[in-house]
């Protein structure tokens, strides 16, 4: 059996001052009766300076905070409480030891009531959780950037197919709710196989990126979406746009890409890179589902290819 005597007050005081968290003891009047060494360099107050002063007098900004509520609950109702770091801003104005203009330490605070000699007290324990909070923030940032990247085409930087699918579904529903129009363009670079065969795949990739950026620059409304639909195929969702308006816009896109004068392979129909575009709109019967709208635009695109390429065809145009 351990027969060593209990440590004296001096040993306890040393231990309390060495512990790696803030310890503050308040009496029933919320006045500070203990202020450990950890608090001193982080608050800028020595124990002698705060002893006997009310906590809210030392830190007026705690008024109305969750810490004040927890202290009240401890001293009046004998209830323990914790104030986790994630719930808003760090309650105590504590900074990294010795840096009084640095960032606040992220804190997890626990308030624990106890009685001694018939008096009620509470212990306020403050732990520095800055590292954990930092890690959590970095993980959240990383998750957010992964999420954003998962909707962007890695090669061209415009929306990818997944983004397109989500946007088309959303915009079609919105158009139906509001009784508005919506048009879809499917665009394909003409004779792109010949381009790759002549210039090589790397130049092919660069060409795809240039065309994608040119296309995105032509869609100016916030709700418009330009996406890479497949290999050398692009799509544009144009909310609040009728078939005839979309046809006009498709022609402007086609003319803009042609005006870039990107040299094409000798085997291509034109000396420069061109687009064929199929247009469909949801203002026609039966084109209220994404799949039906895509199929209609695809048929129109096929007709544009068959008709000689470098042209715009709308679904329903006479063959």
Ligand X SMILES: Nc1nc2c(ncn2[C@@H]2O[C@H](COP(=O)(O)OP(=O)(O)OP(=O)(O)O)[C@@H](O)[C@H]2O)c(=O)[nH]1
216-245: which residues touch ligand X (CB under 6 A)?
231-232
Task: Say which DSSP state 225 is in.
Answer: E
Applying CB under 6 A, among 208, 237, 287, 314 the residue interacting with ligand X is 208
Residue 128 or 190: the one with the smaller Cβ distance to ligand X is: 190
User: What number of other Cβ atoms are within 10 A of residue 180's Cβ?
Assistant: 15
Is residue 192 part of the contact set for ligand X (CB under 6 A)?
yes
DSSP for 89-106 reads S-SS--BSTT-TTSPBPP
Rounded Cα distance between 219 and 58, Å, is 58
User: What number of other Cβ atoms are within 10 A of residue 99's Cβ?
Assistant: 10
308 CB burial (10 A radius; 0-12, 13-18, 19+): exposed
Residue 175 or 304: the one with the smaller Cβ distance to ligand X is: 304
CB proximity list for 69: less than 8 A, separation 6 or greater? 81
Mask for 252-291, x = binds ligand X (CB under 6 A): ----------------------------------------
What is the smallest separation between the CB atom of 197 and ligand X, expressed in angstroms?
7
Q: Where are the beta strands (DSSP E) in 4-118?
A: 22-27, 32-35, 81-83, 107-116
Residue 92 or 234: the one with the smaller Cβ distance to ligand X is: 234
Is residue 24 part of the contact set for ligand X (CB under 6 A)?
no
Applying CB under 6 A, among 161, 299, 305, 311 the residue interacting with ligand X is 305
Applying CB under 6 A, among 14, 49, 201, 306 the residue interacting with ligand X is 201
What ranges in 191-279 are assigned the alpha helix state H?
Answer: 192-199, 201-218, 243-259
Q: Which one is catalytic: 61, 144, 232, 289? A: 232
Applying CB under 6 A, among 193, 198, 272, 311 the residue interacting with ligand X is 193
- Window of 144-152, 178-186, 191-199, 280-288 that interacts with ligand X by CB under 6 A: 191-199
Strand order in 107-116's β-sheet? 32-35, 22-27, 119-128, 107-116, 81-83
Mask for 144-163, x = binds ligand X (CB under 6 A): -----------x--------
Is residue 315 part of the contact set for ligand X (CB under 6 A)?
no
Is residue 310 part of the contact set for ligand X (CB under 6 A)?
no
- Window of 69-77, 78-86, 107-115, 189-197 that interacts with ligand X by CB under 6 A: 189-197
Whether 244 sits among the annotated catalytic residues: the reply is: no
128 touches 102 (CB < 8 A): no
- Window of 12-20, 24-32, 157-165, 187-195 that interacts with ligand X by CB under 6 A: 187-195
User: Vertex 291, ends 287 and 297: CA angle to 5°?
Assistant: 65
| Structure tokens belonging to residue 35 | 């202020």
CA atoms within 13 A on the CB side of 1: 2
- Window of 15-23, 204-212, 219-227, 278-286 that interacts with ligand X by CB under 6 A: 204-212
13 touches 115 (CB < 8 A): no
Q: Which residues are catalytic?
A: 232
**For binding to ligand X (CB under 6 A), which residues are involved?**
155, 188-194, 196, 201, 204-205, 208, 231-232, 305, 309
């Amino acid at each position: 059996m351990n027969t060593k005597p209990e440590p004296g007050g001096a040993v306890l005081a040393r231990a309390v001052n060495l512990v790696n968290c803030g310890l503050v003891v308040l009496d029933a009047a919320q006045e500070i009766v203990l202020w450990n060494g950890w608090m001193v360099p982080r608050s800028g107050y020595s124990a002698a300076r705060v002893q006997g002063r009310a906590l809210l007098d030392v830190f007026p900004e705690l008024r109305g905070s969750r810490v004040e509520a927890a202290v009240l609950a401890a001293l009046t109702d004998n209830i323990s409480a914790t104030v986790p770091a994630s719930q808003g801003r760090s309650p105590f104005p504590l900074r990294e030891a010795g840096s009084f203009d640095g960032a606040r330490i992220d804190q997890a605070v626990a308030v624990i009531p106890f009685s001694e000699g018939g008096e009620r007290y509470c212990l306020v324990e403050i732990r520095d959780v800055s590292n954990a909070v930092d890690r959590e923030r970095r993980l959240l940032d990383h998750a957010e950037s992964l999420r954003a990247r998962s909707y962007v085409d890695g090669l061209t930087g415009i929306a990818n197919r997944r983004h397109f699918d989500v946007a088309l579904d959303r915009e079609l529903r919105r158009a139906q709710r509001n009784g508005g129009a919506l048009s879809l363009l499917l665009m394909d670079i003409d004779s792109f196989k010949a381009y790759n065969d002549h210039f090589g795949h790397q130049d092919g990739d660069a060409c795809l990126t240039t065309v994608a950026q040119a296309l995105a620059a032509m869609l100016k409304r916030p709700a418009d979406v330009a996406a890479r639909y497949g290999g050398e195929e692009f799509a544009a969702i144009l909310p609040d746009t009728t078939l005839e308006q979309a046809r006009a816009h498709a022609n402007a896109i086609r003319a803009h890409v042609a005006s870039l004068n990107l040299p094409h392979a000798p085997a291509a129909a034109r000396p420069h890179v061109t687009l064929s575009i199929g247009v469909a709109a949801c203002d026609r019967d039966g084109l209220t589902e994404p799949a039906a709208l895509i199929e209609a635009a695809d048929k129109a695109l096929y007709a544009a290819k068959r008709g000689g390429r470098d042209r715009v065809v709308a679904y329903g145009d006479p063959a």
